Structure 1
Amino acid sequence: MEPAKLSRTALIAMVVGSMVGAGIFSLPSVFARSTGPQGSLVAWAIAGVGMLTLAMVFQFLARRRPELDSGIFIYAKKGFGPYVGFLAAMGYWTAACLGNVSYFVVFKATLGALFPIFGDGDTLPAVLVSSVLLWATHFGILRGIKQAAGMNTVVTIAKIVPILIFIACVALAIDTDVLMENIREGAGPGQGSLVEQVRGTMLVTVFVFLGVEGASVYSRYAKNRDDVAFATVTGFLLVLALLVSVTLLSYGILPRAELAGLRNPSMAGVLQAAVGPWGAVLVSVGLMVSVAGAYLSWILLAAEVLHAAARFGTMPEFLSRQNRHGVPHKALWLSNGVVQVFLLGTLFTQDTFVLIKSLASSMSLVPYFFVAGFGLLLASRGETYQGWSPRRCFELCVAAVATIYAIVMIVAGGFDFFVLSSLIYAPGTILFVIARKEQRSHVFDGFEWAIFGAIVLAAAAGLWGLVSSGMTLTTTAVGH
C-alpha cells in the first residue's frame, strides 16, 4: 500500500516539529550569560545563514543522489572514505545520545522548582529517577512499543503553543528602559568584544537547530516534490523567528544579570516576571509534555543510526540485528548504555545542561561538516550536473558557505570541546576496527591513519587535562 502523500502544510509542520525541542526553553539565560541584545542578533544572523545553507545542501543531495538514503553518515563515507563515514555516524549517534540526556536533565530541572531534591536535574535523586525511566522505556521498546502517530500532533502543539503565548505576553509586557539598559551594558567596557560575546553562543545555536537535516527524509512522501524545498526554507525561517523572538524579547523583561541567573527552563522565569506565577506553570507544563513526547523518538533515532550504519558495513554486524518485534535490540542496548554513562557523568559537571548542549553540538558538527564537504565536491566536480549552469553555481555557493560555517563552528567551539569529542571518537574507533575485520579489509588506508593519529593525540591531551585538573567539565570553553 502506497503511503499517504503529504501536503505542503504538513511538510512545513514536520520541519518545524523536528527542530523545536527543549533547547528553546533555556535560551534567555544561556544567551544572557554570554552576550546582550546586539550579540544575540549577530549570533542568530550567523546561525541562520549557516544552518539554512546546510539544510539546502541536504535538500539538493537528496535530489541529486537519491540512492544515498541510509543516513547522514553515508554522504561522508561516499565522499571521504570508510573511516570518515564512521566518524560521521559516531558523531551523529553520540549527539543523539546526548540529546536524550538533555531531555532527562531539563525535565528534572523543571520538576526541581517544585521538588528541590532534583536541583538543576543533575543531583543524585534526579539521576536515579532518570535511570529508572531510561530502562523502563528501554524494555518497553524491546517489546515492540513504538510511538503512536497521533503523539506527534500533541507534541508539536505542546511545543509551539506555550512559545507563542510567551512571545505574545512578553511583547506586551516589554519594558523599554530595561531593554535599553541591556543594550548599553552589552556594549559597555568589561563585557569583552562583540566577537568574543558571539563566540560564547555559537554551539548553543547549533544545538537548537539539530534536526534540520530531517526535512529531506520526507521528500518521497510529498504530493509535489517542489513543496519540499519550500517547506524546508519556510519551516526553518519560522523556527528561526521563534528562537530570535524568545531570545531578544527576554532582554526587555529582566536585566541581563537576572536573566543569566534564572534556573532552567529560563523561559518560565521570564514569563513569570512578565505576567505572574501562572506564566511559569504554563511554560513548565508545556516543556515537560514536549520532552516526554519527544523522548521516545530520540531513543529510537539513536538506535536507528547504529542500525543503519551497521547494515552498510560502517559499524559491526551485530548492531544490525533485530529481535522478533523488529527492534534493533543490540543497537538499543549500546545506545541506552551510553546514555546511562552520560547520566552518571552529570553528577560531576558544572552547568550540566549547557555543557551537554555544547558537546552535542560539537559532535554533530563533524557529520555536518562532511555532508557540506560532500555537497561541495559534488558541485565542483560536476557530478550529476550537465555542465555549468546557474543551478550548479548556486548549489556550489550554498555548499561552500555551509562548509565554511561548519569549520567556523568547530573553531568557535574551542580546543576543549575538540579533545572531549576525541575522548569519545578514540575508544569508539574499536567499533570501526571490528567492522573492518569482519569485512577482511585493511583498517585504515592512507590519510585515515593521519586522522586516527590526530584523534588519539587529542584524546590523550583531553585525558591528561582531566586527570591533572587542567581542564574541567564546565562551559568555559564556550564563554559561559
Structure 2
Amino acid sequence: MTPTAQKMSRTQLTAMVVGSMVGAGIFSLPRTFANATGPFGALIAWLIAGTGMYMLARVFQALAERKPELDAGVFAYAKAGFGDYPGFLSAFGYWIGSCIGNVSYWVLIKSTLGAFFPVFGDGNTVVAIVVASMGIWLFHYMILKGVQQAAFINAIVTVAKIIPILVFIVILSFGFRMDLFQGNFYGGGLEGNLFEQVRSTMLVTVFVFIGIEGASVYSRYPRERADVDTATIIGFIFVTSMMVLVTMLPYAVLQRADVADMRQPSMAAVLEAVVGHWGAVFVSIGLLISVLGAYLAWSLICAEVLFTAAKTRDMPAVFARENASKVPANALWLTNIVVQLLVISTYFSRDAFALMLNLTSAMSLIPYLFVAAYGFMISKRGESYEVSPEERRRDLIMAGIAVIFAGGLKFILLSAVLYAPGTALYIWARREQNKNVFIASDWIIFIVAVIGAIVGIYGLATGRIAL
C-alpha cells in the first residue's frame, strides 16, 4: 500500500471521532439519566461533563498543534511528559479500557435483539455469547484487509447511524409537552439530593464522551496535521448536542419513572411509547448499525495504540509487526483475544452492560489525566509557544480544568486493579531490550499501583466500592 493510500481526509478523521463517540452509550441515555435524576440534574451533569471534556478536547487540539511529532496522542503525550513507565500505563489503560468498551457493544447488540428474540436475553446468554464471538472474528478478518478500507466503511456507517438518532430528536421535539417537562424537572419523585443525583450520572457521561481523541490517535494518517484538531472539535460539538437532546427530550413526552423502568436500549422504548412499535424497530436497527460501526472504529484504535507502544519499545516487539496490508496484525490478534475472553466472562455477570460501561469509564480516566497534565505542563513552562505566546494562557487554563475533571480517587483504585498486573507487559518489553525495568520514580508509581490494586480489590470484595 502506498503512503498516499494510507492517508485519511478531514472528513474521515471527523468520522473517526463521531464514530468512536456515538456507540452504545447514546442509546442508553434516557433510562440511565431517568434512573438518576430529572432535567435539572441532567443539565448540571452535562454542563460539568461537557465543560471538562471540551477542555480535554481543546488540550488534544493544542497538543496536536504544539507537538506534531508525537503520534498516537494518548500514549505519546504521557510518555513525553512523564517517562517510559507512565507512558506504558497510559497506553495499557487506554487499550484495555477500549477492549472492555468493545465488549459492552456486543452485550448491547444482543440485548437489543433480545427484545425480539428471547434466546438472546439481556445479551449474556450462551447463544448471545456464541453469536458475539462470531462477530468478533468476522470484524477481525475484515480489519486485517487494511486500515484504509476499514476507515472508509466507518465513514459510511457513521452517516447511516446518525439518521435514526436525528429522527428520534425531531419526533420528540414535535411531541414536547411543557407540563410533563416541568413535572419531571426536579426529579419527579426521586429521593436523594441534587448532588447525589448528579454524581450518579458521571460514569455514564464519561463513557459517552470516550472517543473524543479518535482523530488524535490517528495523527500519523492525516493529509494535513491541522485536520486532527479540526476533526476533534467538530466531532465533539456535534455529538455533544445530540447526547444532550437525547437525554432531555424524553422528560417532555413521558413520566420520568416510566422512562426509568424501560428496557435497554431505552431510546427504542421511548420512541415506541410515542409512535408505536415501528419506533422500537427503527431505533433498534439504528443501534445495531451504530454499535457495529463504533466497534469497528474502536477495534482500529485498540490495535493502533498497542502497535505504536510496541514501535516505541514500550510494549513487547511482537506487537509492532504489520501484515502485507500495513495492519498491526499481532496487536489486533491480542486485542480480539482479550475481547473474546471478556465476552465469555459476561455469562457470569448480573448486569453485564452496566459492568462493562463502568469499567471502561474507570480505565479511561487515567490516560485522559496524563494528557491533560501534559498539556498543563507544556503550557505552564511555555514550551513550543515561541510563535504565538498569547495562546499560552488560554491553553494553561483549559488544561488545568481538564486535569481537575479527569481525577477521582474511586476510579483510580478501580483502574489500579488492572494496571498493576498489566505491568507484566512492560517488564517483558524492558527485558527484551536488556534495560533496567524501573527507575526510582517508576518504582514509586508501581508500588502505588500495587497498593491501589489491593485496596481496590478489597473495596470491591467488601462492597465499599460499587460498580
TM-score by length of 2: 0.91
> Counterparts of 1:450 and 1:208 in 2: how far apart (Å)?
33
1:174-206, Cα deviation, whole Å (9 max, x unpaired):
3333322212435x6x62221211111112111
Q: 2:439 aligns with which of 432, 435, 445?
A: 445
- In structure 2, the residue matched to 1:244 is 244
- Which is worse superposed, 248-257 or 418-427? 418-427
Aligned CA distance change for structure 1 residues 333 and 4 (closer, same or farther; 3 Å): closer
- In structure 2, the residue matched to 1:280 is 280
- In structure 1, the residue matched to 2:466 is 477
Residue 224 of structure 1: how far off its partner (Å):
9.2
- Which is worse superposed, 142-151 or 284-293? 142-151
Aligned CA distance change for structure 1 residues 82 and 13 (closer, same or farther; 3 Å): closer
- Which is worse superposed, 325-334 or 264-273? 325-334
Aligned CA distance change for structure 1 residues 150 and 449 (closer, same or farther; 3 Å): closer
- Which is worse superposed, 333-342 or 277-286? 333-342
SS of 2:466's equivalent in the other structure is: helix
SS of 2:45's equivalent in the other structure is: helix
Map of 1:10-49 to 2, 5 A cutoff? 15-49=17-51
- In structure 2, the residue matched to 1:338 is 338
Map of 1:39-438 to 2, 5 A cutoff? 39-139=41-141, 141-142=143-144, 147-148=149-150, 150-186=152-188, 191-216=191-216, 217=218, 221=222, 225=226, 229=229, 231-386=231-386, 389-407=389-407, 410-411=408-409, 414=410, 417-438=411-432
1:364-414, Cα deviation, whole Å (9 max, x unpaired):
11111001101111011111123994211111111111111112xx34xx3
> Counterparts of 1:146 and 1:156 in 2: how far apart (Å)?
15
Aligned CA distance change for structure 1 residues 202 and 379 (closer, same or farther; 3 Å): same
> Counterparts of 1:258 and 1:351 in 2: how far apart (Å)?
20
Aligned CA distance change for structure 1 residues 25 and 350 (closer, same or farther; 3 Å): same
**Unmatched 5+ stretches in structure 2:** none
> Counterparts of 1:218 and 1:18 in 2: how far apart (Å)?
15
> Counterparts of 2:294 and 2:244 in 1: how far apart (Å)?
23
1:241-287, Cα deviation, whole Å (9 max, x unpaired):
11110000011222222212211211000001111111111100111
1:394-442, Cα deviation, whole Å (9 max, x unpaired):
11111111111112xx34xx3xx44432221111100011111122222
- Which is worse superposed, 73-82 or 136-145? 136-145
How many residues align structurally? 464
1:132-175, Cα deviation, whole Å (9 max, x unpaired):
32234335545669745542343122221101100011111233
Contact 2:321 2:330 survives alignment (8 Å): yes
Query: What fraction of aligned residue pairs are identical, expressed as a percent?
Result: 52
- Which is worse superposed, 441-450 or 428-437? 441-450
> Counterparts of 1:341 and 1:395 in 2: how far apart (Å)?
41
SS of 1:191's equivalent in the other structure is: coil
SS of 1:477's equivalent in the other structure is: coil
> Counterparts of 2:147 and 2:362 in 1: how far apart (Å)?
32
> Counterparts of 1:152 and 1:385 in 2: how far apart (Å)?
36
> Counterparts of 2:72 and 2:122 in 1: how far apart (Å)?
37
> Counterparts of 1:333 and 1:4 in 2: how far apart (Å)?
21
SS of 1:443's equivalent in the other structure is: coil
Contact 1:55 1:212 survives alignment (8 Å): yes
Residue 289 of structure 1: how far off its partner (Å):
1.7
SS of 1:162's equivalent in the other structure is: helix
1:438-459, Cα deviation, whole Å (9 max, x unpaired):
2222211122212211221222
Residue 16 of structure 1: how far off its partner (Å):
3.1
Residue 439 of structure 2 aligns with an amino acid whose one-letter code is D
Contact 2:59 2:399 survives alignment (8 Å): yes
1:192-244, Cα deviation, whole Å (9 max, x unpaired):
2212111111121111111111234469746794x765554343222111111
SS of 1:83's equivalent in the other structure is: helix
Contact 1:268 1:283 survives alignment (8 Å): yes
TM-score by length of 1: 0.89
Contact 2:20 2:297 survives alignment (8 Å): no
Aligned CA distance change for structure 1 residues 440 and 148 (closer, same or farther; 3 Å): closer
> Counterparts of 1:325 and 1:236 in 2: how far apart (Å)?
31
| Alignment root-mean-square deviation, CA | 2.7
Contact 1:47 1:202 survives alignment (8 Å): yes
SS of 1:68's equivalent in the other structure is: coil
Aligned CA distance change for structure 1 residues 419 and 55 (closer, same or farther; 3 Å): same
Aligned CA distance change for structure 1 residues 234 and 318 (closer, same or farther; 3 Å): closer
SS of 1:16's equivalent in the other structure is: helix
Aligned CA distance change for structure 1 residues 273 and 41 (closer, same or farther; 3 Å): same
> Counterparts of 2:147 and 2:233 in 1: how far apart (Å)?
33
Residue 328 of structure 1: how far off its partner (Å):
2.6
